[in-house]
Structure 1
Amino acid sequence: MHDLYIYYQVREADAPALLPRVTAMQAALARQHGVTGQLKRRPEAREGLQTWMEVYPATDDGFAGMLAAAVAQADVPALIAGARHVEVFMDMLPCA
């Protein structure tokens, strides 16, 4: 299992239009795949850009592909500035 952290920038003017797209996409992913995503943003904007982060905990190997398809279907790239950056983390195994 892996946790996905995806961050990207959003123009402040586009944030009100992007928010319902991302929340609807995350709700559909939760219904269809059982992965409840979180949506966060940095408190401050810089040069008219907000930084947003989507977090998807405890995903299996196939989820990243399903997420990419959901992002395209929701047309998220049309309202972000630049690329979506995906980071993958896993839990540390405790020492025996």
Structure 2
Amino acid sequence: MDCYVYYRVSSHNATAARQAVAQLFALTAARFGASGRLQWRADTSANDTAAGTTTWMERYDNVGPAFVASLPSLAAESGLTALIEGDRHTECFVDAQTPCV
């Protein structure tokens, strides 16, 4: 399954948050052999503008349930959890077995 995790980061925490994400990716690679990609929202939402934040997203491909269950503790261990605004939201998807009509 593929896992997407999104959250908001304030502009004053952006540099530290990028370093924390790098640490998070090092942890996921070392413990699960999973590499992540960091993206952020291409357009600015009204919520981001009002709060002075940017929406970031981590993407992990071909991961299992144990990996997904460990993400909250790995994010805390990396220091990322303390640098974001609000909660981390995780959504996982699997490939469709039949074509969409």
| TM-score band, normalised by shorter chain | 0.7 to 0.9
Letter in 2 for 1:28: L
Equivalent position to 1:67, from 53, 66, 71: 71
- How far apart are residue 32 of structure 1 and its match? 2.3
Give % identity. Answer: 34
Query: Conserved in 2, the CA contact under 8 Å of 1:4 and 1:86?
Result: yes
Counterpart position of 1:79: 83
Query: Conserved in 1, the CA contact under 8 Å of 2:3 and 2:90?
Result: yes
Compute the RMSD of aligned alpha carbons: 1.5
Letter in 1 for 2:74: A
Query: Conserved in 2, the CA contact under 8 Å of 1:7 and 1:54?
Result: yes
Matched residues in 1 for 2:23 and 2:15: separation? 13
Deviates more, 1:50-59 or 1:34-43: 34-43
Count of equivalent residues: 94
Equivalent position to 1:54, from 49, 52, 58: 58
Query: Conserved in 1, the CA contact under 8 Å of 2:76 and 2:82?
Result: no
User: Is 2:11 the counterpart of 1:4?
Assistant: no
Query: Conserved in 2, the CA contact under 8 Å of 1:44 and 1:50?
Result: no
Instruction: Give the gaps of 5 or more residues in structure 1.
Output: none
- How far apart are residue 77 of structure 1 and its match? 1.7
Instruction: Give the gaps of 5 or more residues in structure 2.
Output: none
In the superposition, the TM-score normalised over structure 1's length comes to: 0.88
- How far apart are residue 43 of structure 1 and its match? 3.3
Counterpart position of 1:91: 95
Query: Conserved in 2, the CA contact under 8 Å of 1:42 and 1:50?
Result: yes
- How far apart are residue 94 of structure 1 and its match? 4.0
- The structure in which a higher percent of residues are strand is 1
- The structure in which a higher percent of residues are helix is 2
Matched residues in 1 for 2:31 and 2:81: separation? 22
